[in-house]
Amino acid sequence: MIEGLKTRWRELRQGEPGRRFRARYERRHSRRRHAGGRKWSVMVAGAVIVLAGIVLLPLPGPGMLVIALGALLVAEESLTVAKMLDALELRGRALISRWRPAASTRSGSP
């Protein structure tokens, strides 16, 4: 089980930014038959995990990580959510790239 998680994490990390969640969805759905009950149970579990992460946000701890985990579960079963996560990743990367040069020039000044 742990090896499977490591493999899936490695596949996700090595994916192309802006396409990795959609690719994960496509890989997952090409390997197996579509079982409706399993699909909905994974989506419900993901939604519950996202809600738990939202509840944990005000507390110190991994609230955002819990939300990301739940969103990843939902994205494995929903192409729409996978596309939304890909778009969110690209926006986040653009924001970080705009912020990072400004932060490095500020820290370099006396």
Across the chain, which distance is largest between two alpha carbons, in Å?
61
What's residue 21's pLDDT? 85
**Model confidence, pTM:** 0.68
What's residue 50's pLDDT? 92
Residues 6 or more apart whose CB falls under 8 angstroms from that of 45 comprise 70, 73
Query: Cβ distance 50 to 67 under 8 Å?
Result: yes
pLDDT less than 50: residues of the chain = 109
What's residue 104's pLDDT? 56
What's residue 1's pLDDT? 62
- Looking up tokens 């705009």 gives 98
What's residue 52's pLDDT? 92
Q: Which sequence spans correspond to the domains of the chain? A: 2-105
